[in-house]
Chain A
Amino acid sequence: MRASRRRFLAVGGLAAGGMLLELATDGRLRIAGRALAAAGGASDPSFRPFAWLAIEPGGRTLVTIGRVEMGQGTRTSLPMLVAEELDADWERVAVETAEPGPEFPEMRTSGSWSVGGRYRSLRQMGARARAALIAAAAARWRVPAGACSTQPGQVVHAASGRSLGYGALAAAAAAAPLPANVPLKDPKQFRLLGRRTPRRDAPAIVTGTARYGLDARVPGMRFASLERCPVAGGKLLSFDASAARRVPGVRDVVRLGDSLAVVADHTWAAFSGRRVLEARWDEGALASFDSRAYRAQLAEASGRRGTPGRVVGGAEAAVASAARRLDALYEYPFFVHAPLEPMNALAHVRDGRCELWLGTQAPNWVQEDVAHRLGFEPSAVRVHVQLLGGGFGRRLGVEHAVEAAELSRAIGAPVQVVWTREDDMRHGFFQPAAAHRMAAGLDASGRLAAWWHREASSGQNFRGRVDPADPDLAANLMWGGVDNPYVLPVMRAEFVLVEAPIALGPWRAVFAPSNVMARECFVDEIAHATGRDPVQLRLDLLAANDDADAAQRSRRARLAAVIRLASEKAGWGRPLPAGRARGIAAHVYDGETTLAQVAEVSIDGGHLLVHRFVCAIDCGPVVNPLGLEAQVESGVVWGLSQVLCNDVSFKNGRAEISNFGDYPIPRLPETPVIETFAIEGASQPLGAGEQPAAPVAAAVLNALFAATGKRVRHLPVREADLA
């Protein structure tokens, strides 16, 4: 992020009236200080040294965050980084979400990288602004800057006992050059970072005033619901909208490509109109897609040669010639995100411009894709990012925004496109299914001599197809497989691409849950087959940690540390009540965050009960421990949905789910006690939003085996698996 320092110009005669025009770096003029001017008061501008940060004359610090909030806590954690170094008064820090554009060219919020990616730069912004405020105060008092310090929200000159609030210094700071090369605080001096800090939006949430995409309202708006071909990619052949048009409140039925939009005065009228639409479809090529057949294809393909991802020695031969060989096939199904807030977008196209209000993880993609579809310049598209009622990767998709914009243009009015829950479940993009063919060669003493992991799956095609000839196919898609963290003298990880014709896209922790399930369960199988303790085997597989690569040594050491911590905190090896058992799984996510989880389960009345989850995580210095715990808990419940609930099957090209009745998610009573323990081993903050979801399934399946002796090698666990 470049430092887009703004300048303030007093323009001609207007200046006498106290009005300032603000020249933004994008060249647009905006009127600033108008309210003050109208009141005839002073025209002190804000000090806005960066697009992310403004100190207002009234003393409020405004942090404009170029990331979105979807429950992961960016509206709390990112302002903490600025406020720490600025020495802002946290009670007077306001937060707004940025708009995509030249000042915020990349707001995409994914990959669990909001805090890690901004840890230094946001602190630097705060530190430089603080230095500017100190310089302004020192100049006013005619004392050396070095004689001044700060207390939250003010500059202090201890020798004379004078102090000035940041607001009173904003104009002077804005007029002077911004200091560079300002040192950052020693972490020992942190006031805010590392403190349990409650979510900033909590008061708005509990009073119903927090605004999500679906809550956006503008005068004269309509509501619309779109009927689509039940099979993705199908064509609309003909339709009869006469009954739909007669539904009270329905304004119009508009064809939008191969969809039909029912435009109405209320959402309910739009939904009602849809129910009486008559449409004939050419369902197209996907109409023959059947997930059972596809998954059989995956299982078969996993026995073939794939694109190699990581190869050390000759695994195939080593497995074949080993004293003992273990084989297992793990199967991972399709899932759908199902955030509680269904997809929606409000768009208003007029006079060659478009404004949108929605929750999105990819504001710039919304801007670009809408502009492209409408034939506008991106600068003609404004995106007002609302709170997201869940993201999880799903809101990286922007199709609902594009259809809202097209519809608004077609009807000449602002319109909110609302997907029903059923639309959201059936027409989302799905987590790719996979088959993992695992083979291990053991030597005569039972030691793991060779590891062979073949994955058959598809890639994510939600923003373009996957190139089957890409030599990096395995490296790109086999997260947790190619970067298997254990010391394996002979290993091969390879990927067989079997494209699925449905829409596929990123999931929480992307491809890791699939590979980690197979890998961590298979390690468990090896432990039990060779009579070794699953925790000890993992530690043994990390013991010969003499890799030439220091980063690899470090992450293995950090993985071993969380395995030790989780097993110790969980009481690994200690007796449990009858019928209960523990299972462990561990992972290094993307070479960075290390985590280990111990699940404690039992079977009761044919149901798998998960009682306790002990999680140890090393994601470096923790900015907000309360936020970290929330993310770990969230990831565990997310992972449990994959084990305990349902998957998505397809028949005749249709997703065979409709709502939370047939695609349930975990509820409060089945949520275990979740304990989080952090080690600050890494030197920089690393991701924690997706990571905790990755090992959950394996920890539960391993505990299930320990409890019952049944090795379940698929998700979800069904009653028949327990019988």
Chain B
Amino acid sequence: MAPVRLTVNGVARDVDVAPDMPLLWVLRDVLQLTGTKYGCGAGFCGACAVRMGDRVVRSCQLSIAEAAGKSFVTIEHLAAAGGASVQKAWIEADAAHCGYCQAGLLIAASVLAESKSPLDDDAIDAALGVHLCRCGSYPRVRLAMKLVAAGLKKKG
């Protein structure tokens, strides 16, 4: 099989693996970008979320064949890709607990932050409510997203 070319974090990468290998494992085991996490492998948890343009995609559900020619941003490159304010809000809200699921949440939050829709509770529920966190970081995740929405207004 021929190598597949995709763009990850602004860099063109040629990958020569089985065409059904999900992007998740290409990132983690081939490109050594371990910030994207494996949580369920079935699209339930969102720990593996990455950005594809202005969309959030679950890298465990996207084969490398489907990823060919596309451009992706992972957590490692989030700051450079316009996500610094989201990261800053996450730190300010002390959102993470164990932190394992947070990469996916941050990716989703960065896409939400760039969307034109108002960042109210419904929008936060819709965008971030599809991510699982076993530590229960949700109250702080909501707070972090509100800090983003408030233009990083200082926490009272």
Contact = CB atoms under 8 A, between A and B. Distances in A.
Contacts of A209: 35, 76
Interface in B123-152: 124-125, 128-142
Interface in B15-37: 17-18, 20-22, 25, 28-30, 32-37
A144 interface: no
A554 B3 CA distance: 70
Interface stretch (A93-101, A374-382, A493-501, A662-670): A662-670
B99 A201 contact: yes
Contacts of A659: 40-42, 44
Interface centre among A205, A338, A668 (most CB of B within 10 A): A668
B10 to A, nearest CB: 15
A390 B21 contact: no
A223 B29 contact: yes
Contacts of A661: 42, 44
A70 interface: yes
A205 B99 contact: yes
A387 B17 contact: no
A341 B39 contact: yes
Interface string B35-64: 111111110110100000000000000000
B146 to A, nearest CB: 12
Nearest to B96: A205
A668 B97 contact: no
B91 A198 contact: yes
A668 B138 contact: yes
B130 A674 contact: no
A635 B134 CA distance: 10
B18 A633 contact: no
B75 A207 contact: yes
Contact of A202 (B30, B35, B40, B94): B94
A340 B32 contact: no
B30 A266 contact: yes
Contacts of B6: none
A637 B140 CA distance: 12
A208 B78 contact: yes
Contact of A388 (B21, B78, B98, B129): B98
B103 A208 contact: yes
Contacts of B33: 208
A214 B100 CA distance: 10
Nearest to A201: B99
The secondary structure that dominates the A interface is loop
Contact of B132 (A204, A418, A665): A665
A671 B134 contact: no
Given A339-B134, A340-B134, A674-B139, A206 B102 contact: yes
A489 B126 CA distance: 53
Nearest to B90: A206
B139 A673 contact: yes
Given A249-B17, A660-B42, A669-B125, A633 B103 contact: no
Contacts of B142: 668, 671
Interface string B67-94: 0000000111011000000010011101
A580 interface: no
B111 interface: no
A666 B99 contact: no
B139 A633 contact: yes
B113 interface: no
B112 interface: no
Nearest to B126: A669
Contacts of A70: 98
A7 interface: no
B91 A206 contact: yes
B47 A340 contact: yes
A247 B20 CA distance: 12
A203 interface: yes
Given A421-B41, A633-B140, A637-B136, A217 B34 contact: yes
Interface in A250-305: 265-269, 271-272
A667 B98 contact: no
A207 B37 contact: no
Contact of B91 (A203, A217, A636, A673): A203
Contact of B136 (A203, A212, A391, A636): A636
Given A217-B34, A268-B18, A673-B139, A667 B25 contact: no
B14 to A, nearest CB: 16
A207 B36 CA distance: 10
A202 B90 contact: yes
Interface centre among B32, B97, B101, B129 (most CB of A within 10 A): B97
A210 interface: yes
Interface centre among A217, A266, A661 (most CB of B within 10 A): A266
A207 B134 contact: no
Contacts of A211: 34
A265 B79 CA distance: 31
A638 interface: yes
Given A198-B94, A267-B28, A208 B75 contact: yes
B76 A340 contact: no
A217 B32 contact: yes
Contact of B96 (A202, A215, A268, A638): A202
Interface in A579-638: 626, 630, 633-638
Contact of A390 (B98, B103, B140): B98
B87 to A, nearest CB: 4
A207 B79 contact: yes
Nearest to B98: A71
Contact of B129 (A72, A265, A267, A668): A668
A248 interface: yes
B143 to A, nearest CB: 10
A183 B40 CA distance: 51
Contacts of B139: 633, 671, 673-674
Contacts of B140: 630, 633
Given A208-B103, A249-B17, A667 B76 contact: no
Interface centre among B22, B29, B44, B106 (most CB of A within 10 A): B29
Contacts of B106: 206
Given A202-B91, A340-B39, A636-B136, A668 B128 contact: yes
Interface string A354-395: 000000000000000000000000000000000111111000
Interface string A455-480: 00000000000000000000000000
A564 interface: no
Given A267-B28, A269-B18, A668-B142, A199 B134 contact: no
Q: Enumerate the 8 nearest inter-chain pairs by beta-carbon distance, A residue then B residue, closest first.
A: A208-B35, A637-B136, A71-B98, A389-B100, A208-B75, A71-B97, A205-B99, A660-B44
Interface of A: 69-72, 198-199, 201-212, 214-215, 217, 223, 247-249, 265-269, 271-272, 337-342, 387-392, 418, 420-421, 626, 630, 633-638, 659-661, 664-669, 671, 673-674
22 contacts: A71-B97, A206-B75, A206-B102, A208-B78, A214-B34, A223-B29, A248-B18, A266-B21, A266-B25, A268-B29, A339-B98, A340-B100, A340-B133, A340-B134, A391-B98, A421-B39, A630-B97, A633-B138, A633-B139, A666-B138, A667-B130, A668-B124
Given A202-B94, A338-B134, A340-B132, 16 more contacts: A202-B99, A206-B78, A206-B102, A208-B103, A210-B99, A214-B37, A248-B18, A272-B20, A339-B134, A340-B39, A389-B98, A626-B94, A659-B41, A660-B45, A664-B44, A667-B129
